[in-house]
Structure formats: C-alpha cells, structure tokens
Structure 1
Amino acid sequence: GVVLYINEDIFEKAGKTPPATWDDLRQLAIQLTTKDDQGVVTQSGVALGRTENVDHWQEILGLMMLQNGVSMGNPTGKLAEDALTFFAIFSAVDGVWDVSLPPSTVAFSSGKLAMYFGPSWRAFEIKAQNPGLKFKTVSVPQLPKGNIKEQDVTYATYWAEGVWERSKNKEAAWEFLKFISSRESLEKMYQNAARLRLFGEPYPRVDMAELLTTDKVLGSLVAQAPFAQSWYLASRTFDGPTGINSQINKYFEDAVNAVNARTTAAKALETVAAGVQQVLSQYGLSAQ
C-alpha cells in the first residue's frame, strides 16, 4: 500500500507535524517549499501534480478519488473533477512541484523533498541512495469526516501467489504455499531478510499485524491495511501496452496532463470515462 514518507530533518527544523488531512498537507507543502531568486524549486514540500516525475502517481490519484467517493469505472461528475483538480493543483497552482524536478523517489532520497508518497519497498532504495537520511512513514491523509464512525480510506495494490491450473504438481505447490504462509515460516523469512536490509517482507496475515506496529516504515502500512481499497489504477504492473493497468493508466495520465495544460477537469474526464469503460469491457468487466 502507498504511505506518506516524511523527511524528519525538514519537519523538525520547521517545527511541523505530519498532516492528517489533505488540506493540512497542501498548506504544509507550500510552507516547506523553498525557491531561489529565479523561482526555481530548491526544496519541495511534496511531489504531487505531475505524471512525468511523480512515482506512483497512479495510486495517489486513485486514493484521492476513492476517498472522495468516485465510481472509478465511470469517473465523471463533481467528485471526480474535484479529485483530479486537487491532484494537479500542487503543480498547476501552488508550484510546489514541477516537471523540471527529478523523479520523486530520487528527490526524497537526496533530502530535497519534505513529503513523498510511495510503497514500503521504496525504503530500501532510499536508504541505499542516502544512508544518513532520517525518514519515517505515516498514514496517508484523509478527507475531513462528517461522521466520527466514518472509516478511513487507503489504497493498496497486491502481489499474489498462485498455482497454474494445469500444473502436474498442483497439490505439492498448494502445500508449499500453505507452508510458506504459515506464521512460523513468515517470521523466519522476515528475520532472515531483516539481517540484510531495513526490514523483511511485511506479514500478509492479520494475526501478525501487531508484530510490526512500532516499525518506522511498516507501522503505518499495518495501521492502514484494514481500510485499504484497490482498483486497476496501479504503477509498475509491467502488463504491456494492451494490459488493463497500462491502458487505464494512460487515460488518467492524459487527463492529468490536460488539466495541467488548462483543460477543465470535466472535459478531461469525459475521455477518461469513455476509455475506461472500453478497456473494462475488453476484459469482460463491469464499469459499476
């Protein structure tokens, strides 16, 4: 799942605390962005608003839309327009991020980015690029709640293990999957991996969540897990140009670029909605 990475040094120096809502994040991003005399961003508050250099923009935009109650199979109307406009606003209006900056993972690793959205595994890359960087993750921002019983909404994509239906060794394969997903096996694999890197593979079992709650990177991931939703808007699926994720990503990418070029969100989303419905129908899926 996507979490919010925090540069602890930048936050401590500015006397700030991580944002709880998107409005908090926007104000923080403006306050934590610095520019030189020519208006060039030298430190960005957050990497949002573009598709060219915001890693995992797909999950971030999907998160915003699902939190706002958007029907992803037919992303039209005010709720979808507001989510798309808000994503783009960080570049198009606030100027805290622009196309000239390096990829967001690189920017965060270099210490020039205060807040960065990414999955937990990016922590390995960040640590390798800058071993001295002080960072942690927190849960993603939420919209203000009208009802205290209203649940949070977070976003996750998944890697899943499976067995080929025509395998000659199906029974043995399923037994092996059951073995490696047992509590004992997962603990051993985690401990072995943690000897070589920051942490092991996050436990996929609900009954093991408490083992990771205090981890600086995985704690927020565990806290978010019960509220995670997902959809076909996902990065790094490597499913090729005709794959469902790649096709859907392209429609939303074009929409973000259109809004940054001053096309209205309503107009941009008309094309997205038509394209998404066409792609889903190719795969025999309903837009509902």
Structure 2
Amino acid sequence: MKFNKVQIALIVIALAATLVAVLIFAGLIPGLGPSGQKETRQVLMWGTFPSRILQEAFQELERPPKNIEVSYEEKDPATFEAELINALARQAGPDLVIFPAEFILKHKDKLASISSDLISERLFRDTFADGTETLIRPEGIIGLPFLIDPLVLYYNRDLFRNEAVSSPPKTWDEFLVTSQKLTKLDSVGVLARSGAALGLESNVRNFKEILSLLILQTGSPLIDSTTLKVVFRPQSQPSGPDPVESALRFYTEFSNPQKASYSWSRSWPNSREAFSQEILAMYFGFGSESALLRQLNPHLNFDLAGVPQIKGGKLNLTYGRLFSLGIVKQSRASEASFEVIQFLLERERLLNTSQRLGLAPSRRDLLSQRPENPILETIFREAVKFKTWLDIDYEKTSEIFAAMIKSVNNKAKTENQASRDAKEQFESLYSE
C-alpha cells in the first residue's frame, strides 16, 4: 500500500507526538506529568523575615496553575550578606532574595536586571512609593520594592503626662524644648533621666540614620542617585551653612554638658535599653522595633509619632529602610522567580504580609490605607514620606559618620573640618 506525501507527514507527526507524550509521562523530559498538570518548579528564596509568615503565603503557589514550590530560608541579618557571598561563590546560592537597600550598589553585579518588557520605569514610579526609585539604575531595574521600615519617634506617654507635655514634638525646635523639659539632673549635675538620646555614636542606636535624617531634611541628598557623585551641599544652596555641618552641630550638642540641650551621656546604656527601662523619654527607632520594645518591657506605656521636621522647611520627610525582591543572576529559575515576586506584590497579599510583619507596603495604593492598629497607621503614614540615600558600604560609611561625631565631641575638629574630612572619605569610597 502506497502512501502519498501528506499521509506520510501525518504519520510522522503522530509518531513524534506519541514519543514525546511517552517521555513526558516517564518524567524523562519536562512538561506535563501523568496527571496532566505542569511539573512543579522549584525556587529557593533567602531573606531575614520570619519564615512562618512568608511560607504560609507560598502554599497557594504550589497549586495549579502556578505549580511553584518556594523553599524560603530565614537568615540572620548579621550573617546574611556573608552567607550569600559564600553561597554564590560555590554556585549554590538562592534564586530569589529579599535584600536591604545597602545591597543596591554593593551587590548589583549579583542581581539580574528586570526587563522593561516586564515593568517599565513609568509603571515602576506610578506603582511604588517615592524613595524606592534608588532601584532604578542605568543598567536597569535591579529589584522591585517590597516593604518599607520608616524611622519614627517613640515616646513614653507616662513621662510626657507627668511633665504636662500633651503631645510629641512636630518640629526640631519643639523637640529641643520638650527634651529639656523631660531631662532631669541630680544634685551634682549627673543625668538622672534623659529627654532624648542624641549626640553620641557609641550608645545611640541608629545614630547614622538619625544624622542622615537631619541632613536629608535640609535638602542635601548626600549622594546623587544617578551619577553617584557625593553632594554634601546641593546646588540649590550655594551659600549659607553647610547642611552636614549644621546637622552635625545640632546632633552633638545633646551630649555637651555645657549646653542647655544636654540630655545624653556616654555612661548611659544603649538608647533602646534606656527607653525600655523608662529612663529615656524619646527614642528614635524604626517602626519594626515596636514589637521588640513590647517584649523588653510589657508594661511600657509608649506610642510613636512622625519624626520632627525643620520649622518652615521645604521638605517633609523621614529616613527609612527599604527591602526589595531581587532575582539572582546565577538563578536557573528566573521566570518562576519573577512569578513569585508578582505573587508577593499582589494587593491584598502584600497588605496582609506587611501588617503581619509590622512594616509598610511598598505600593502607593496601599499606603493610603489606614490600618485599625494605631501603631501600623503611623508606620504607613510615615512610609509615604520615606527617603534614603545610596549607601555603597554600610559598615564603612557608618565608620565615617561615627568618626565625624567623635571628632567633634572630642574637640579634635570643628564641625566644618569634620564635614570636609567626611566628604573626602566619601569621595574616595565612591570612586573605588
């Protein structure tokens, strides 16, 4: 029996289809399994947030049509960076990471740029909060914003009430007056109670972030996010006091016993501990610290408010930490990893995750929400005003900030000299 060309072609196609089906069924090539469903795709994800919260959300991904199994590994923030570097060196790193803003410059070579076909710069800016645009680099968008942890002002309600202070300060002028009212010295001039923990680098938690806040509020970006040029004095302020110098002077006066603003001493415990012990009235901390403060002292009657602003200033902002979702360049599951990112950033899921973690979501439309929890309401509101700067090496820049503060307190340098020296060190660091 002879077959014409059309019949022969149909027979070949049928045999090929049968062979492929057999191989898929046997699991020898990827595709549909015996059940007719997609094979499960594996994604390894690293981050520092609690696994119990994130892993619950991933259960939905394992079901059709996604069929993505996410293995989330919770890492210690203190060792996360070193573990990631070592794992990537062994070609055994994760596919997806939740990374802090400090990774944007330092580890951009390890993160894959997200194609503009997946998200354009216009869509990015329309979707995510101001302050997150640091993820937009000349080489592309290296991650999508996930969560924001704003710097806030914690205050002891009992101490405020006892001194007839009705509300937290809204400006730095009010902050200074409030601190003086709440600070108490004993009969020999030793601090017995502190109104505010500023002025030092050794026992003030978040000293670098507080000083950054003061500088950013003056209009100085510290670092130009596009050119990476060090900008301590913006072009819009060609004359007048140097913003860094002014911020440094204001900050250090709180640890100077000769000043009326004196409220903090090197002999005191860590500022967060002092606040939990109810000997410190006002503490600058991140929104995420509220749960820990409650653990340190379950009876502590505290609240939180927005950070003070410059009276009559043009900018109303707070400092904040940004956590983003990035795909590792080495990943062999980049497509599935991006689907996981999309899943985590879905409206209701992101809102739920952020509230359970005590943080603010990155999406503009969610930051307009007002949670019933008053602490979360403040965190959401402050995240709208969040701003940061591109830190190329958190440890090294922290050392520069600490040396700047210490040199002024020790009277080794004037504020102007300390600022100029810090700028030179920054320029050297960013030119490497």
TM-score range, shorter chain: 0.7 to 0.9
Q: How many residues align?
A: 264
Q: What SS does structure 1 have at the residue aligned with 2:322?
A: coil
* Residue deviations 1:194-238 (CA, integer Å, cap 9, x gap): xxxxx64432222222444553323223222233221146xxxxx
1:205 and 2:380 are equivalent in the alignment: no
CA-to-partner distance for each residue in 1:109-164, whole Å, 9 max, x for gaps? 11111110010111111100101111111111111116xxx341221121212111
Report the alpha carbon displacement of residue 276 of structure 1 after superposing the two structures with TM: 0.4
Q: Deviations over 1:26-79 (max 9, x none)?
A: 111111011222322221101101110110011110010111123512436532
Which residue in 1 is equivalent to 2:323? 159
In 2, Cα distance between the equivalents of 1:138 and 1:278?
37
Deviations 1:151-191 (A, max 9, x none): 41221121212111221111111111111221232344356
| Distance in structure 2 (CA, Å) of the matches to 1:125 and 1:226 | 23
Letter of the 2:385 counterpart: F
Moved more, 152-161 or 273-282: 152-161
Partner of 1:42: 192
Matched, 1:227 2:385: yes
Q: Residue 173 of structure 1 aligns with which residue?
A: 337
SS of corresponding position for 2:374 = coil
Aligned residue identity for 2:298: P
Alignment partner, residue 119 of structure 1 = 286
2:172 is the counterpart of 1:12? no
The two structures, once aligned, show a CA RMSD in angstroms of 1.9
When the two structures are superposed, what TM-score results if normalisation uses the length of structure 2?
Answer: 0.58
Moved more, 263-272 or 45-54: 263-272
Evaluate the alpha carbon distance shift between residue 163 and residue 86 of structure 1 in structure 2; reply closer, same or farther with a 3 A threshold. same
Q: 1:214 to 1:38 in 2, by over 3 A?
A: farther
Q: What is aligned with 1:238?
A: none
| Aligned twin of 1:279 | 429
Larger RCO: 1 or 2 (CA < 8 Å, sep 6+): 1
CA distance in 2, matches of 1:270, 1:54: 23
The 1:257–1:105 alpha-carbon spacing in structure 2 relative to 1, beyond 3 Å, is: same
**1:75 counterpart residue number:** 232
- What is the SS of the residue equivalent to 2:405? helix
Over 3 Å counting, the alpha-carbon distance change for 1:85 and 1:200 in structure 2 is closer
- Which one has a larger percent strand, Structure 1 or Structure 2? 2
Query: Contact 1:6–1:135 (CA<8 Å) still a contact in 2?
Result: yes
Check whether the contact 1:90–1:96 (CA below 8 A) recurs between aligned residues.
Answer: yes
- Say if 1:232 and 1:89 are closer, same or farther in 2 by CA, change over 3 A: farther
Q: In terms of Rg, which structure is larger?
A: 2
Structure 2, unpaired ranges of 5+: 1-149, 223-229, 234-240
SS in 2 for 1:160: strand
TM-score normalised by structure 1 residue count:
0.85
> Alignment partner of 1:162: what SS?
strand
Q: What amino acid does structure 2 have at the position aligned with 1:137?
A: L
1:12 CA drift (Å): 1.4
Asked if 1:259 is matched to 2:417, the reply is no
Question: Are the structure 2 counterparts of residues 246 and 123 from structure 1 closer, same or farther at C-alpha, using a change threshold of 3 Å?
Answer: same
C-alpha separation in 1, matches of 2:370 and 2:269: 32
The counterpart of 1:110, out of the listed 264, 277, 298, is 277
